Every structure is written in C-alpha cells, then in structure tokens.
Amino acid sequence: MSRKFFVGGNWKCNGTTENVKKIVTVLNEADVPSDEVVEMVISPPFVFLSLVKGLLRSDFQIAAQNCWARKGGAFTGEISAEMLINLGVPWVIVGHSERRTLLKESNEFVADKVGYAISEGLKVIVCIGETLEQRESGATMDVLFAQIKAVADKVSKWSNVVLAYEPVWAIGTGKVATPAQAQQVHKELRDWFVKNVDVNVARTIRIIYGGSVTDTNCNELARLRDVDGFLVGGASLKPDFVKIINSASVK
C-alpha cells in the first residue's frame, strides 16, 4: 500500500522575525513535488506560528513543537491543543527526545499529550528514540516498543499519527543511522503494529526518520522500503532543506 511521503522541518528554539521571513521566502520560491506526492509540515517556535502561517504557501502545513496534556487552565507557560486549533494549526510534535531527556517527560506523559491532542482534532508527529547507551546494550527495540505501547494505550485513531524514529545519538551530532540500521528499526516498528494494533494500521502508518538528515544522505534513506519520510532539525533552517523535500521523488 502506498504511503504519502512526509517531510517535517522542526526549527526548534531558533529564529528571529527577520530570518524567519527569509526562510519562508526560500520555501515559497522552492520547486518541490506537489502535495499529492509529499506532505510538507513546518514547525516554527510558538511565537512565530501565526507569522509563518500567514506568509507560507498553502501546500506547506504548520505544526507546533509541543502542547499540553489536557484542557487549558492554570498551567503557566503551556500551550493547549484548543489554542492550536483556534490558530488553525493542524499538527503538533510530541515526545521529541529533547523533551524526554532534558525535561524528563515520561512515556506515559507523552502518551497523555498524544491522546488529548488527537481527541481535540490535532494531527500528531510522535517522536520515539533510543540513546547510544541503550543501543550499545542491545535495548533499542525494547525502548522503542515501550514508548509506542504507552501511546497505543491512549490512541485508537492512528490515521492522524505520524511516527518519527529519531535515535537520540544521531540528533544534532552529525551521526546518522546507516540505511540498514534505519530500515531494520522501521521494519520492526511496523511489525509491532501488526502484532499489537492492526495489520491495516501497520500498512498505512507513516514511519519517518530523524537524526542528522541532510541533502547528501536523504535520497539513500528515502529509497528504503519502510522509511516514509523525514523529520529534519537544523537542516530545515537552510536552503538545502528543499533538496530533502525533493527526495520524495526517489520513493
């Protein structure tokens, strides 16, 4: 079954009004495949969501980088799913390793966020990944399966979920999983859905790769059977991001 290629650009905690406008100009002028071929989602910091949404061409969608785990209220500094819906933001990234490691977000807390976001009508990019220590100890799949299971306990509508495998040891380090490593993990993740969720979900859910994806390695990774796209960090702030989007054409 064909799965539409997906490329997300996570700008993280970067940007000023001036350079955000420059990045958007590059994207607006880019020659990229149609949105029938690739789904393109840009995730600026919260303070630039409305600015980017107002300036960016319509075939690019917008994602927030996080959201709160329940309805808004006395939660200083948090952003609720309802607020994002009100702004017309359709996507949110949840469970990024930087939040899991730096802010100590547990599997269960991430799952609560995913479940609530979907219940309110958001589409969610769910990040999972293992540390270098966990990989070297042979615990990669145990770690990933535990992260997915927590989400599966809260989610029944998988059509609004994109799963992003981001090995922590490859994020912002310049290291990247070999094609064989990426394909093996993605295949085992898909097999997990066959055994634990539903065979149709396993066939249709998009599992994308993140971890030092660049314009030089994207085509090789895009050709892999079970890699359905990318979640890109630092490279999404550069003009070369357009080349990564265009890797959809090799699928």
Q: How far apart are CA 227 and CA 130, in angstroms?
A: 17
Q: How far apart are CA 219 and CA 198, in angstroms?
A: 30
Q: Could you confirm whether 96 is annotated as catalytic? A: yes
Residue with tokens 């949105």: 35
Give strand ranges (E) for 129-184: 161-165
> Which listed residue (96, 98, 105, 130) is catalytic?
96
Q: How far apart are CA 99 and CA 203, in angstroms?
A: 29
Tokens of 59: 């075939």
Q: Could you confirm whether 98 is annotated as catalytic? A: no
The CA-CA-CA angle for residues 227, 91, 209, to 5°, reads: 20
What is the distance in angstroms between the CA of the first residue and the CA of the last residue of the chain? 13
* CA distances for 41 relative to 139, 171, 239, angstroms: 31, 19, 15
> Which listed residue (39, 105, 166, 186) is catalytic?
166
The CA-CA-CA angle for residues 232, 111, 4, to 5°, reads: 40
Which of the residues are catalytic? Answer: 96, 166
